[in-house]
Amino acid sequence: MGEDIIEIEDEDGNKATYEVEAYFIYEDEEYLIVSEPESDDATILRVDGENLYTIDDEETFLAIKKYIDENEEEIFGPEDEDWDEEQVEEDDD
């Protein structure tokens, strides 16, 4: 994923744009992993119809994080085995 963009509005009417990094189902609940463009920080959101909720319960959050860690390839897709960091050229300008 990582190419889908969503706009989220909070209770105060503030809007923010996020990139959808992944979608998955855990214990019959739908979740999104989103990040702000140009950021490495990610947020897990529970999907309920058209509403999105943060995971406030620490025990639930840790269980979901463990699930993500154990199912990373299924959730995010396989890593690009052809990728080679040396293929990226530095700009000498």
Q: Write down the pTM of the prediction.
A: 0.75
Q: Please tell me the predicted confidence (pLDDT) of residue 82.
A: 47
Q: What is the mean pLDDT of the chain?
A: 84
Mean pLDDT of 22-29: 96
- Name the amino acid, one letter, at 7: E
- Please state, in angstroms and rounded to a whole number, the distance separating the CA atoms of residues 61 and 3: 25
Mean pLDDT of 1-10: 80
Strand ranges in 1-93 using DSSP code E only, listed in sequence order? 4-9, 15-26, 29-35, 42-48, 51-54
What distances in angstroms separate CA 37 from CA 3, 16, 64, 79, one per listed residue? 10, 10, 23, 21
pLDDT higher than 80, residue 84: no
pLDDT digits (tens, 9 = 90+) for 58-82: 999 999 999 999 999 999 887 654 4
- Beta-carbon contacts of 54 under 8 Å, excluding residues fewer than 6 positions away, are 43, 44, 45, 46
Q: Please tell me the predicted confidence (pLDDT) of residue 76.
A: 87
pLDDT higher than 90, residue 92: no
pLDDT digits (tens, 9 = 90+) for 40-64: 889 999 999 989 999 999 999 999 9
